[in-house]
Amino acid sequence: MNELVQEFFAQFSWRDLIDLLIVAFLFYKIVMIIRGTRAVQLLKGLLVLVVAMVVSDWLGFRAINWLLTQLITVGVIAIPIVFQPELRRALEKLGRGQFFTDTFSITSSKEKHGEVITEIVKTCSVLKKRGLGGLIVIERKTGLRDFVETGIMIDGKISAEFLINIFMPRSPLHDGAVVIKDDVVRAAGCYLPLTEKEGLSKDLGTRHRAAIGITEHSDAISIVVSEENGKISISVNGKIIRDIKEQDLEKKLKELWEPGESSFVNLWHWKFGNG
């Protein structure tokens, strides 16, 4: 064993060290580009398929192994299509000279979590009383970076007064959605995908359809205050609960929304900063 180690280091040159450092840095930059996007969840799914293929081969399950092999082959071909937004973002950053300048950040906001829920509920209550409409989206594990970039970046501290001002009729951002992550308002005036689900009530407007649509594309939680009737609704996993009371909304948010953590070593969650 000692001879193998000595032979390895004897053949290991400073060029090999630089080569490994460059590869590690490029891998790190790729992770930083896809952080906070839906691509993270897709990569997790691909990783599960690869592990399942290896295990099925080891156990001798030839039919399952063949099926998984075909799925992975198709998946590799589909990668450029699936990751088109991330590839475009990487090329744009490379062209602007920003590929090597992004910084790494770690956030955690467990202490503020309860306060944030209180501020959100207070916001909905005030909007309801004043007859104002609003759409708030809470990011969970699935990153919403693709949708955040359609709005105006804010990265501001959450408060009911701040959110209410955003949804005031004369505000330039009141028509879009506000996206929240942990204790930060990431962006406002964001455009969300509308649900194409059939059989929905005809009195559901654009805000409600956008609220359902974003929960079909991710694990986000969306909260809508109707401008027409003042009713508060909450949507999760493509389903919407209408006319929910303030106290029930607070309880529901505490059940559904767990405070996020970011960790450099937790590769499974791939949470590097705010994304």
Q: What CATH number has the domain bearing residue 160? A: 3.40.1700.10
Predicted pLDDT of residue 6: 63
pLDDT for residue 263: 35
Inter-residue contact 142 to 220 (CB < 8 Å):
yes
pTM value > 0.85:
no
- Which of 37, 64, 96 marks a domain boundary? 96
Burial of 43: CB neighbours in 10 Å, binned 0-12, 13-18, 19+? middle
Residue 271 included in any domain: no
Helix pair 246-256, 113-130: axis angle to 10 deg: 150
More reliable by pLDDT, 249 or 202: 249
Burial of 217 (0-12, 13-18, 19+ CB in 10 A): middle
Question: What one-character DSSP code corresponds to residue 111?
Answer: T
Tell me what the mean pLDDT of segment 27-39 comes to: 64
Residue 23 belongs to some domain of the structure: yes
The mean pLDDT of 141-163, rounded to a whole number, is 88
Same domain? 221 vs 122: yes
Output the pLDDT for position 32.
65
Cβ atoms of 205 and 233 within 8 Å: the answer is no
In terms of pLDDT, which residue wins out, 203 or 111? 203
Residue 180 within a domain: yes
User: In the predicted model, what is the mean pLDDT of residues 253-275?
Assistant: 51
Domain, as residue range, for 217: 113-256
In order, the DSSP letters of 10-72 are HH--HHHHHHHHHHHHHHHHHHHHHTTSTHHHHHHHHHHHHHHHHHHHHHT-HHHHHHHHHHH
120 with 220, same domain?
Answer: yes
Inform me whether the pLDDT recorded for 205 exceeds 90.
no
- What pLDDT, on the 0 to 100 scale, is given for residue 21? 84
Residue among 221, 217, 215, 213 at smallest CA distance from 194: 213
Minimum mean pLDDT range among 15-24, 159-168, 215-224: 15-24
Residues 179, 153: Cα–Cα separation, whole Å: 10
Measured in Å, how far apart are the chain's first and last C-alpha atoms? 44
For residue 267, being part of any structural domain is answered with no
Q: Is residue 222 part of a domain?
A: yes
Is there a single domain that holds both residue 172 and residue 216?
A: yes
* pLDDT, the chain, mean: 78
Phi, then psi, of 16 in degrees rounded to 5: -65, -40
Confidence of residue 107 (pLDDT cuts 50, 70, 90): very low
What's the domain count of the chain? 2
Based on the domain organization, do 120 and 190 belong to the same domain? Answer: yes
Percent of the chain with pLDDT over 70: 71
Average pLDDT over residues 185-189: 92
In a domain, 250, yes or no: yes
In a domain, 103, yes or no: no
More confident site: 11 or 267: 11
